[in-house]
Amino acid sequence: MPLQPLLPAAALAANMADLHPPLRPQEALVEANRCLYCFDAPCIMACPTGIDVPAFIKKIASGNPIGAAKTILTANILGASCARVCPTSVLCEGACVLDDRDEQPIQIGRLQRYATDYIEQRGLSVLSAPAKKTGKKVAVIGAGPAGLGCAAELARLGHGVTVFEKQPQAGGLNTYGIAYYKLKPEISLAEVALVQSLGVKIRCGVEVGRDLAVARLEQEFAAIFVGIGLGDAQRLRIPGEDLPEVRDALAFIEQLRTEPLDRVPVGRAVAVVGCGNTAIDAATQALRLGADSATIVYRRGEEDMSAYEFEYELAKADGVEFLFHTAPVEVLATDGHVCGLRLSRTVVNAAGKAEQVPNSEFNQAFDLVLMAVGQEKQIALLKQLFPALALDARGAIQRDPLTGQTTMPHVFTGGDCANGGREVVNAVGEGKKAAHGLHAFLTQATARPPIQPSRLGAKTGATGSGLLQPIRAHELEAQVKIPGASPGAFDKTAANSSDHNAIRA
Ligand SMILES: Cc1cc2nc3c(=O)[nH]c(=O)nc-3n(C[C@H](O)[C@H](O)[C@H](O)COP(=O)(O)OP(=O)(O)OC[C@H]3O[C@@H](n4cnc5c(N)ncnc54)[C@H](O)[C@@H]3O)c2cc1C
Ligand code: SF4
């Protein structure tokens, strides 16, 4: 049977409501006043965009949410979406000193949302681009978080920027891929409008390489930023994978972000193959769309899953079931429609590979199978667009980590296509860093990032939101080596952050 939508619009709106509701003004004041305004503020260093966290919290505490929003957006143009989607428990809130006192860390993400919502809801603008332009023009390929982060910073440095985006709307995965209950598409589109308000031109529906040649960009623009993200979902290549009810989890999530929720078909018994954050997002959203069950099938154990701990807890609380040490070997069908999966038990061998246990196969009934086994790297596209560009062994673009400059001097990069797949905030931070690299390339001057005062105790100096080499919490821990600290926790974070969606081979 072809799949149908299962729930009416009102029930879906309730199921897909914000995971973390906004703070009320009084709650924001109370929360802001818990902050110790630390001298060395580890929360700043744990943020890849280096937001001056205590400075914006102080502004909220003193009744100045507009100033707080300015502090946030100066450092991170996508501060509103990061407030909702950042894994704060392993970034700023994970670094908050209150964790060490066995107290709840400051709810930095929710305070950030409070300040950015405040100006968005009132239509206030707190950022501007300089009236005097440099006369230099940069083309940005891809309007995801990396491209937008780069474009906004370039505009604020006085350069002319045009962003080319193949999708009908800008925002990248913020618009098309993040779980609905974390980030509504309209928040992402409001951020796109904010970037445009700085003078950035965005041309959607233009696929570079198909609709527009790179040679043309090279004629018109002095430099190029590549922020094309990752590619299509990987396939398992098992029999039955082409059946209509076998879907790429990303396409499933995109559908529910671009169509009315009550028109999105879903199965009653949903299998999700893979155990990264995308798999969790797909399973929890299938349940919220009305599925009776959602089962994650993963060929390794719980200890190996690449999803964050909090995502795993959320999935369990939502009722997602887990089949660990199990791999699909065939998609089963009756009358051309999916009716289940043939599954095999697996064991991790001495070489660390998951292999099937002989004669352990069994069938389980499902009517929708979502594949979430990682996204392909864009190797073929990159070779087509820039034949001289060097890629690393993983298929990510090689670049100078400080400036984003690639092996082609006029081409810069950042985000998932360069880091292999991390978080929204990494992409924005890398786009911003590349903008400063591009500024230096275009003007022969060293860009001075917008330095916010305070935080003299920060280990890298008084950099505040101008931090050009932000340090993530786990990286900091690796350097510091706290006696008695378990290295495992940070190993897991590192693995998660570098491979958002993939299950390990
Ligand atoms: C399902 C899912 C859930 C996630 N959830 C979270 C989360 O909760 N929190 C979090 O922090 N991160 C999350 N992430 C990761 C986050 O979305 C990415 O790290 C981030 O979007 C990367 O930004 P980017 O700009 O590098 O790439 P993208 O967001 O992928 O943007 C790249 C853009 O380039 C465009 N493009 C590609 N090729 C071309 C071309 N030839 N011409 C023109 N345009 C082109 C694409 O259409 C796209 O808009 C999630 C990822 C996935 C897949
Ligand atoms: S670590 Fe940051 S958020 Fe936590 S108390 Fe100190 S300044 Fe405030």
Q: Tell me, in angstroms, the distance from the centre of ligand 1 to residue 425's CA.
A: 11
Atom of ligand 1 nearest to the CA of 207: 42
- In this prediction, residue 482 carries a pLDDT of 38
Atom of ligand 2 nearest to the CA of 95: 1
Looking at the chain, the whole-number percentage of residues with pLDDT higher than 70 is 88
Q: Is 99 in the pocket of ligand 2 (CB under 6 A)?
A: no
Confidence of residue 40 (pLDDT cuts 50, 70, 90): confident
pLDDT in tens, 463-496: 444 455 544 444 444 444 434 433 333 222 333 3
What residue owns the CA closest to ligand 1's atom 7?
85
Q: Inform me whether the pLDDT recorded for 295 exceeds 50.
A: yes
Atom of ligand 1 nearest to the CA of 145: 25
CA pair distance 378, 380, nearest whole angstrom? 6
SS3 content of the chain, % helix, strand, coil (to 5): 40, 15, 45
- In this prediction, residue 447 carries a pLDDT of 56
User: 459 - beta bridge partners?
Assistant: none
Q: Inform me whether the pLDDT recorded for 108 exceeds 80.
A: yes
pTM (predicted TM-score): 0.90
- In this prediction, residue 462 carries a pLDDT of 36
Ligand nearest to the CA of 423: 1
- In this prediction, residue 401 carries a pLDDT of 87
| Spatial CB neighbours of 216, under 8 Å, sequence gap ≥ 6 | none
Q: Give all domains of the chain, ordered by start, each with its CATH number.
A: 20-126+452-498 (1.10.1060.10), 137-231+377-443 (3.50.50.60), 246-371 (3.50.50.60)
Q: Inform me whether the pLDDT recorded for 413 exceeds 60.
A: yes
Q: Specify the 3-state DSSP secondary structure of 491.
A: helix
Which of 77, 104, 76, 83 minimizes the C-alpha distance to 20?
A: 83
| Spatial CB neighbours of 365, under 8 Å, sequence gap ≥ 6 | 269, 339, 340
Ligand nearest to the CA of 88: 1
Q: Tell me, in angstroms, the distance from the centre of ligand 2 to residue 97's CA.
A: 6
CA pair distance 188, 79, nearest whole angstrom? 10
Residues at CB less than 6 angstroms from ligand 1 = 85-86, 141-147, 164-167, 172-173, 177-178, 182, 207-209, 227-229, 250, 253, 277-278, 281, 415-416, 422-425, 427, 500-501
Neighbours of 96 (CB within 10 A): 27
CA pair distance 269, 287, nearest whole angstrom? 9
Q: Specify the 3-state DSSP secondary structure of 3.
A: coil
Q: Is 53 in the pocket of ligand 2 (CB under 6 A)?
A: yes
| Spatial CB neighbours of 352, under 8 Å, sequence gap ≥ 6 | none
Q: What is the mean pLDDT of residues 33-47?
A: 89
pLDDT in tens, 331-375: 999 999 999 999 999 999 999 899 999 999 999 999 999 999 988
Looking at the chain, the whole-number percentage of residues with pLDDT higher than 90 is 76
CA pair distance 314, 280, nearest whole angstrom? 9
Residue matched to tokens 């786009």? 431
pLDDT in tens, 41-51: 889 888 889 89
- Interior CA angle at 95 toward 92 and 98, to 5°? 110
Residue matched to tokens 């309730």? 14
Q: Tell me, in angstroms, the distance from the centre of ligand 2 to residue 58's CA.
A: 11
Q: Is 38 in the pocket of ligand 2 (CB under 6 A)?
A: yes
More confident residue, 492 or 247: 247
Which of 253, 300, 249 minimizes the C-alpha distance to 272?
A: 249
Structure tokens at 338: 């999916």
Q: Tell me, in angstroms, the distance from the centre of ligand 1 to residue 285's CA.
A: 19
- In this prediction, residue 117 carries a pLDDT of 97
Q: Which of 38, 104, 454 to mutate to test the pocket of ligand 2 (most atoms within 8 A of CB)?
A: 38
Instruction: With beta carbons less than 8 A apart as the criterion, state whether 45 and 445 touch.
Output: no
Atom of ligand 1 nearest to the CA of 381: 41
Q: What is the mean pLDDT of residues 66-84?
A: 96
Confidence of residue 283 (pLDDT cuts 50, 70, 90): very high
Q: Is 19 in the pocket of ligand 2 (CB under 6 A)?
A: no
- In this prediction, residue 504 carries a pLDDT of 28
DSSP single-letter state for residue 211: T
Least confident of 160-169, 257-266, 288-297, 484-493: 484-493
Structure tokens at 190: 């409001």
Ligand nearest to the CA of 46: 2
Burial 24-44 (b: 16+ CB within 10 A, else e): eeeebeebbeebeebeebbbb
Ligand nearest to the CA of 170: 1
pLDDT in tens, 363-407: 999 999 999 998 889 999 999 999 999 999 989 999 998 899 999
Q: β-pairing, 326-334 with 337-348?
A: antiparallel
Q: Is 37 in the pocket of ligand 2 (CB under 6 A)?
A: yes
Q: Tell me, in angstroms, the distance from the centre of ligand 2 to residue 32's CA.
A: 10
Instruction: With beta carbons less than 8 A apart as the criterion, state whether 214 and 194 touch.
Output: no
Least confident of 111-115, 127-131, 137-141: 127-131
Q: What is the mean pLDDT of residues 288-305?
A: 95
| C-alpha neighbours within 13 Å on the C-beta side of residue 328 | 28
Burial 178-209 (b: 16+ CB within 10 A, else e): bbbbbbbbebbeebbebbbebbbebeeebebe
CA pair distance 96, 217, nearest whole angstrom? 44
| Spatial CB neighbours of 487, under 8 Å, sequence gap ≥ 6 | none
Q: Tell me, in angstroms, the distance from the centre of ligand 2 to residue 110's CA.
A: 14
Where does residue 274 fall: left (phi above 0), alpha (psi -120 to 50 degrees), or beta otherwise?
Answer: left
What residue owns the CA closest to ligand 1's atom 30?
229
